[in-house]
């Protein structure tokens, strides 16, 4: 997939997609400025930076919570580059093209937190990315041997392994599975220390804010949602890839940046497999601002915009996604180990036209009953996506029930649903 910058929003991604070495990085960005931890965190607050890993939590509040607890014992800074969302490529693209911008943000955070360790986590299946990062870190150590060392750690390539408490479990020598909170990572995390876990895109934005300031960051986007965001745009678009867009861009503009729709768009999956389907007519004019999406019952989540064209089957695509989400549960509690597989099986029978009357009502009821009962949020995301499919593809589901799979169901999958391995 390609990487592209749209609408003059070039910040994180280079205009020409080529890997940037340390010397070129310094020539482009300049050296890291001298900031006290309090000054940097205050500047992030003025900028309005939020996390880019899915929750969109204010970065300054998260950094401050760790910094306040790290004064006596130190802390750990963790860069989350797991990106186990199958439709997402934004973090891998950013790290492949501008790894030193991410390293800058992690080292700034380490200074602000008085960190004892700085760790970058990638999925064990990302061999090419890991080799790129090993080379970039070695180049960095040769050029700046005085800097704190950034450790590169791999974790199993499972969907739930990228959740922050699962990452902390992995770094503490246990299986990469989500755990119940409290305690939350900012209080007790890796090695029992206050721990900051941020998506790598968040660290890259922080590095730019440190150099250019909050006013510069707010010069694009909107007052409520400043700055840019990286999006993985896939499905029925002419030029799928990673696009950098200002938050006041509409979903229609995002699709235009990806070369426009390939075919007649009928629905959009916003936020990835933890997101929700929306009719294309509804989604097209929505901006990427959290408030705009929230009013439509949507969220940007992992930063995935997947377009469903008319010649694809939303029922079949949802069937495969639900099966993936059921396989990828941690299996630690009933909603995941029993609820999701049962819901996925019922939806599968519906897609094949072999379910009994009333199945759609049962699916809707199960989606509600499973939600909010898991040890982590995995079943919540899966059931919200399923519930949105029941709404958006209601007529198609009825046709599948009456006549069996449609002709479009036989086409190759539009969205990836890999079989991931490892614990």
pLDDT score for 371? 92
Could you tell me if 281 and 334 lie in one domain? no
183 in the same domain as 85:
yes
Mean pLDDT value of segment 65-69: 96
Confidence of residue 65 (pLDDT cuts 50, 70, 90): very high
Rounded-to-integer distance, Cα 241 and Cα 251, Å: 15
Question: Confidence class of residue 255 from pLDDT cuts 50, 70 and 90?
Answer: very high
pLDDT of the residue at 9: 60
Q: Which of 309, 338, 369 is the last residue of a domain?
A: 309
Helices (H) and strands (E) in the chain, counts: 17, 10
Q: What is the pLDDT at residue 3? A: 61
Let me know if residue 422 belongs to a domain: no
The answer on 205 and 139 residing in a single domain is yes
Q: Which domain, by its residues, includes 193?
A: 14-217
What per-residue confidence (pLDDT) applies to 2? 55
| pLDDT, tens digit, 9 for 90 and up, residues 377-388 | 899 999 999 999
> What local confidence, expressed as pLDDT, does residue 423 receive?
46
CATH of the domain at 192: 3.40.50.11540
How far is Cα 173 from Cα 6, in angstroms, rounded to an integer?
A: 42
Q: Which CATH number belongs to the domain containing residue 401 in this structure?
A: 1.20.1440.230
Domain at 234, CATH number: 3.10.20.600
pLDDT exceeds 80 at position 167: yes
CA separation for the pair 186, 199 (Å, rounded)? 15
Taking the C-alpha atoms of residue 409 and residue 155, their distance in angstroms, rounded to an integer, is 34
Separation of CA 363 from chain center:
27
Cβ-based neighbours of 380, under 8 Å, separated by 6 or more: 371, 372, 374
Helices (H), ranges, 98-231: 99-113, 127-143, 164-171, 200-217
Residue (of 254, 244, 233) closest to 204 by Cα position: 244
Q: Among 62-66, 119-123, 157-161, 238-242, where is mean pLDDT lowest?
A: 157-161
Q: What is the pLDDT of residues 201-253, one digit of tens each?
A: 999 999 999 999 999 999 999 999 999 999 999 999 999 999 999 999 999 99
Q: How many domains does the chain have?
A: 3
Q: Report the distance separating Cα 232 and Cα 167, nearest Å.
A: 23
Q: Report pLDDT for 397.
A: 97
Residue 7 lies in a domain: no
pLDDT at 103 over 50: yes
Answer yes or no: do 91 and 211 share one domain.
yes
What is the overall mean pLDDT for the chain?
93
Domain boundary among 263, 289, 309: 309
pLDDT band at 180 (very low <50, low <70, confident <90, very high): confident
Whether the Cβ atoms of residue 423 and residue 330 lie closer than 8 Å to each other: no
Q: Is residue 29 part of a domain?
A: yes
360 and 388 share a domain? yes
Element (H, E) at 304: strand 304-309
Q: Based on the domain organization, do 70 and 198 belong to the same domain? A: yes
Q: Within this chain, do residues 113 and 179 fall inside the same structural domain, yes or no? A: yes
pLDDT at 182 over 80: yes
Give the pLDDT of residue 6. Answer: 55
Q: Is 295 helix (H, G, I), strand (E, B) or coil?
A: helix
Q: 19-39, pLDDT tens digit by residue? A: 999 999 999 999 988 888 899
Q: Residue 7: what pLDDT? A: 47
Q: 259-290, pLDDT tens digit by residue?
A: 999 999 999 999 999 999 999 999 999 999 99
For residue 179, pLDDT beyond 90 = no
């Amino acid at each position: 997939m390609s990487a592209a910058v749209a609408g003059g929003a070039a910040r994180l991604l280079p205009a020409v997609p080529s890997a940037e070495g340390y010397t070129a990085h310094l020539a482009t960005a300049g050296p890291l400025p001298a900031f006290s931890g309090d000054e940097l965190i205050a500047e992030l607050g003025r900028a309005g930076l939020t996390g880019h890993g899915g929750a969109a939590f204010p970065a300054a509040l998260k950094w401050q919570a760790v910094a306040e607890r790290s004064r006596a014992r130190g802390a750990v800074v963790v860069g989350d580059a797991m990106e186990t969302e199958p439709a997402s490529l934004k973090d891998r693209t950013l790290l492949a093209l501008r790894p030193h911008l991410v390293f800058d943000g992690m080292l700034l955070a380490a200074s602000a937190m008085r960190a004892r360790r700085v760790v970058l986590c990638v999925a064990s299946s990302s061999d090419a990315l890991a080799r790129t990062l090993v080379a970039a870190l070695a180049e960095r150590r040769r050029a700046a041997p005085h800097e704190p060392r950034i450790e590169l750690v791999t974790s199993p390539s499972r969907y739930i392994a990228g959740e922050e408490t699962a990452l902390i479990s992995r770094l503490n020598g246990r299986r990469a599975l989500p755990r119940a909170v409290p305690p939350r990572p900012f209080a007790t995390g890796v090695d029992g220390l206050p721990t900051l876990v941020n998506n790598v895109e968040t660290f890259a934005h922080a590095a730019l804010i440190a150099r250019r300031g909050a006013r510069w960051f707010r010069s694009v986007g909107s007052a409520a949602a400043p700055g840019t965001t990286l999006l993985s745009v896939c499905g029925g678009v002419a030029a799928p890839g990673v696009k950098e867009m200002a938050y006041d861009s509409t979903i229609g503009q995002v699709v235009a940046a990806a070369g426009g729709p390939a075919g007649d768009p009928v629905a959009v999956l916003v936020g990835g497999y933890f997101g929700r389907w929306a009719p294309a007519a509804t989604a097209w004019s929505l901006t990427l601002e959290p408030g705009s999406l929230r009013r439509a019952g949507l969220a940007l989540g992992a930063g995935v915009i997947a377009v469903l064209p008319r010649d694809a089957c939303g029922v079949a695509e949802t069937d495969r996604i639900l099966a993936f989400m059921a396989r990828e549960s941690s299996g630690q509690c009933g909603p995941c180990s029993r609820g999701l597989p049962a819901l996925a099986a019922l939806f599968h029978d519906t897609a094949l036209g072999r379910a009994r009357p009333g199945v759609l009502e049962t699916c809707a009821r199960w989606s509600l009953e499973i939600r909010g009962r898991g040890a982590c949020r995995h079943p919540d995301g899966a059931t919200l996506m399923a519930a949105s499919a029941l709404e958006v593809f209601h007529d198609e589901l009825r046709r599948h029930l009456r006549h069996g799979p449609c002709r479009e169901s036989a086409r190759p999958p539009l969205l990836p649903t890999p079989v991931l391995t490892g614990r």
